[in-house]
Amino acid sequence: HRLSRDSAAHQPLAYLRLRRAIRNVVEHRDIEPGQALPSERDLSRALNLSRVTVRKAIAGLVEEGILTQRHGAGTFVAERIIKPMSRLTSFTEDLRARGLNPRSEFFERGIGEVTPEESMAMNLSPGVLVARLHRVRYAKEEPLAIERSVVPASILPDPLAVRDSLYEVLESLGARPRRALQRLRAVSLGAQQARLLHVPTGSAGLNIERRSFLDDGRVVEFTTSWYRGDIYDFVAELHTD
Ligand code: 16G
C-alpha cells in the first residue's frame, strides 16, 4: 500500500522529468521540426512510465507550443512557431526553446526624446528620454519579425547593452516585465517590410503592439512588431468564467 502511494507521489516528478527530456531532444534537434514523436504507447514501454505520465508530459509541451498533435496521426515537433498568447516571454526565449539561435540586426539603437504618441502609450511626460531599438529578428539566416521597441531611458540608459535579448538586459537591471497588454491584428506587409522579411510584397503579417509593465505599474516597453504570418501561430487557452 505504502509503495503504491509513494510511486503515486513520484508521478509528478516523472512527468516533469520526461517533459524536460523531450524538450531537450527538440532543442538539440535530435528530432527535427515536422517529424513525429514515438507513440505514447512506445514511449511508455521504452521508458517504463505510465501512459498517464507520458500523456501529461506531452500535453504540457503541446501547450508550450513545442509539439503539435494531429488527430489520428500522432504527435509532431511543431513546424510553425506556436506562441502561447498568455505567456510573457521574449523572442529569444521562444526561439531557444525550439533549438533555434536568435539574432538581431539593428537599424537603430539610441536615446531620444519621447514622441507624443509614445508618451501617451507609455504614460510618460513630454520631453522625457527613451531608448529606441529598431531591428530585424532572425533565426539563423531567416528573418522572422521586425521590431521597434521603446523603453524609458530611466530604465534602460544604455541601449547598446542590448545585443540580442532586450528582456535579458532588463532582467539584469531588475526590470523584467511582469505583465503586458498585447494587441494583435492582421496586416498585409508593405514592400519595405516584405523585403526585410524575405517574403513577397502583400504577404500576411501580424502587427502586434505590446505594452509591458513592472510590478509598480511603470511601463517598461512599448513594442510594435511585425511577425511573419506564414510562420507564426498565436494560440490561447480559454476558460469560461
Ligand atoms: C517579443 C515581444 C516583444 C519583446 C521581445 C523581447 C511579441 C509579440 N513581442 O518579440 O514585445 O520586446 O519579445 O525579446 O512577443 P528579446 O528579449 O529577445 O529582445
| In the block, residue with C-alpha cell 476558460 | 239
Ligand 1: residues with CB < 6 A are 90-92, 147, 149, 165-168, 208, 210, 221, 223, 225
How far is the centre of ligand 1, averaged over its atoms, from the C-alpha of 16 (Å)? 27
Q: Which domains does the chain have, with CATH numbers?
A: 2-77 (1.10.10.10), 81-235 (3.40.1410.10)
- ipTM, two decimals, is 0.99
Residue 7: predicted pLDDT: 53
Residue 4: predicted pLDDT: 46
Residue 11: predicted pLDDT: 60
**Which atom of ligand 1 lies at the shortest distance from residue 95's CA?**
18
Q: Which of 60, 83, 62, 79 is nearest to 71 (CA)?
A: 62
Residue 1: predicted pLDDT: 42
Residue 2: predicted pLDDT: 46
SS3 (DSSP) at 205? strand
Tens of pLDDT along the chain (241 residues)? 444 444 555 566 889 999 999 999 988 888 988 899 999 999 999 999 999 999 999 999 988 888 988 888 899 998 888 888 889 999 999 998 888 889 999 999 999 999 999 999 999 999 999 999 999 999 988 999 999 999 999 999 999 999 999 999 999 999 999 999 999 999 999 999 999 999 999 999 999 999 999 999 999 999 999 999 999 999 888 899 8
Residue nearest to atom 4 of ligand 1 (CA): 90
Residue nearest to atom 6 of ligand 1 (CA): 90
How far is the centre of ligand 1, averaged over its atoms, from the C-alpha of 90 (Å)? 4
**Which atom of ligand 1 lies at the shortest distance from residue 182's CA?**
8
Residue 99: predicted pLDDT: 82
Q: What is the pTM of this model?
A: 0.81
Residue 221: predicted pLDDT: 98
